[in-house]
């Protein structure tokens, strides 16, 4: 009995074995060749670039590199989009300062250029006029911005007014020379003040704009410290935005102050030279209307020819 059991093969019933698909079994057990590629995965499940911030790629995300993200938090666009009320107020103040500075720079430069280009022609035409009526007609035809014609008109009007008042109390109180001198000085002072328009603003902006920019810098660094305290780490992506904003405010402040200071120094020096020409022309007018003749300047070292008696 035992010999029969030993010689009988141990076979399991056919219904006890699970039925398998030969195709599936062959594909599962067959080895993969070296040149065979893996089946393509779903692109939607692997595409994470659409969820990344602008300026970062998958490699930056995998490597833990946040510098690309920090670069997106720098620049003028970030300043405008993320600035608070205080930062926007400082930026607005500097923008208004810049507009006013360039307005007065262009206005004063164009006016100074026009006056300089017309000065010699106006003075020469006045002295070479054939008659006082012709000279006054030429002076009145000059534009309002031209100062030499206005000084000459005031001097001529003062001389005419004093001549009409001869024998009266004004002629007794002031001589002809004194009366014309007061009119000429008043005209020179009036025209000189017109050239000073905008200089006070240029000086004020040149001295205060750097401090406004510094205020924006301090405010940006303050926000950087708040972000560090909120996140608990001083990484570049945390502090880059506020620090970049602070540096931009500093650059804007310097960009407003430097042109203002340079323009102020230029116009102050140019106005001094123009006022000197006003005074020289006014002295010639005073001599002409007070004495009837213009004093001719003589060069040093020249000698007048005196005819001999014999």
What are the tens digits of pLDDT across the range 231-268?
A: 776 666 666 666 766 788 888 999 999 999 999 999 99
**Rounded Cα distance, 9 and 23, in Å:** 29
**Rounded Cα distance, 126 and 240, in Å:** 67
Instruction: Kindly tell me if the per-residue pLDDT of 71 is higher than 80.
Output: no
**What is the enclosing helix (H) or strand (E) of 276?**
helix 236-291
Cα angle value 86/90/96 (rounded, 5°): 140
Residue range 79-98: mean pLDDT, rounded: 82
What are the tens digits of pLDDT across the range 189-220?
A: 999 999 988 999 999 999 999 999 999 888 87
What are the tens digits of pLDDT across the range 15-65?
A: 444 454 444 444 444 444 544 444 554 444 444 445 444 544 444 444 444
Residue 213 Cα to chain centre, angstroms: 13
Cα angle value 215/88/86 (rounded, 5°): 55
pTM higher than the cut 0.75: no
What are the tens digits of pLDDT across the range 228-238?
A: 777 776 666 66
């Amino acid at each position: 009995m035992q010999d029969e059991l030993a010689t009988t093969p141990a076979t399991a019933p056919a219904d006890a074995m699970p039925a398998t698909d030969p195709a599936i079994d062959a594909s599962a057990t067959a080895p993969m060749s070296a040149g065979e590629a893996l089946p393509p995965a779903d692109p939607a499940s692997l595409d994470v670039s659409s969820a990344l911030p602008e300026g970062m790629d998958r490699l930056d995300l995998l490597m833990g590199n946040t510098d690309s993200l920090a670069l997106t938090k720098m620049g003028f666009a970030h300043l405008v989009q993320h600035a608070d009320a205080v930062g926007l107020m400082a930026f607005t103040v500097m923008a208004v300062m810049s507009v006013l500075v360039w307005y007065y720079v262009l206005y004063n430069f164009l006016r100074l250029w026009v006056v300089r280009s017309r000065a010699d022609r106006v003075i020469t035409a006045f002295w070479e006029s054939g008659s006082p009526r012709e000279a006054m007609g030429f002076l009145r035809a000059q534009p309002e911005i031209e100062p030499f014609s206005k000084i000459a008109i005031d001097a001529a009007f003062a001389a005419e007014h004093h001549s009409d008042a001869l024998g009266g109390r004004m002629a007794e109180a002031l001589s002809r020379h004194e009366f014309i001198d007061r009119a000429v000085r008043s005209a020179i002072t009036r025209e000189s003040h017109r050239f000073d328009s905008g200089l006070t603003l240029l000086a004020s902006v040149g001295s205060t704009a750097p401090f406004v920019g510094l205020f924006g810098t301090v405010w940006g660094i303050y926000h950087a410290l708040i972000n560090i305290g909120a996140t608990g780490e001083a990484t570049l992506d945390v502090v880059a935005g506020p620090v970049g904003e602070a540096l931009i405010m500093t650059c804007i402040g310097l960009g407003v102050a430097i042109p203002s200071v340079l323009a102020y120094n230029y116009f102050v020096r140019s106005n001094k030279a123009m006022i000197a020409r006003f005074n020289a022309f006014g002295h010639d007018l005073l001599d002409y209307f007070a004495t009837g003749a213009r004093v001719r300047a003589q060069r040093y070292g020249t000698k007048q020819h005196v005819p001999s008696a014999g």
